[in-house]
Structure 1
């Protein structure tokens, strides 16, 4: 990737809109992708408890921003 603001980061952020963690996977960050996906889907599955649903929403936004601001090694 060329760095923050590159076309690859935009594509990764868009991928995260459809599936949290997919953008990190596109960037080659497997561990980050797994963590975002597990946190989001775990919280979304427990939506009826309110607090996990709020955490899932925060993780969803965080995953998008993280993919968009990734600078690479």
Structure 2
């Protein structure tokens, strides 16, 4: 991915709206994608306990923002 706010980051953020972790996967970040997906789906599965559902909602929002604001290590130092 290029810069923060690039078209790729916007697509990744939109992917995260529908499937948490997919945006990170689109960006090539496998470990964060798995972590976000497990936390969000696990929390949503335990919706009847209320607190895990709230944590999952926060993690879902965090995944969207993380995908939108991502800048790769390489692009930070190539300028």
Q: What band does the TM-score fall into relative to the shorter chain?
A: over 0.9
Q: Which residue in 1 is equivalent to 2:3?
A: 3
Q: How far 1:7 sits from its partner (Å)?
A: 0.3
Q: List per-residue Cα deviations over 1:11-66 (Å, max 9, x = no partner).
A: 00000001000000000000000000000000000000000000010001000000
Q: Normalising to structure 2: TM-score of the pair?
A: 0.91
Secondary structure in structure 1 of the residue aligned to 2:5: coil
Task: Say whether 1:36 aligns with 2:36.
Answer: yes
Higher Rg: 2
Give the Cα–Cα distance (whole angstroms) in 2 for the partners of residues 24 and 11 of structure 1: 10
Give the Cα–Cα distance (whole angstroms) in 1 for the partners of residues 64 and 24 of structure 2: 9
Q: Normalising to structure 1: TM-score of the pair?
A: 0.98
Unpaired segments ≥5 residues, structure 2: 74-79
CA RMSD of aligned residues (A): 0.4
Unpaired segments ≥5 residues, structure 1: none
Alignment of structure 1 residues 1-73 onto 2, 5 Å: 1-73=1-73
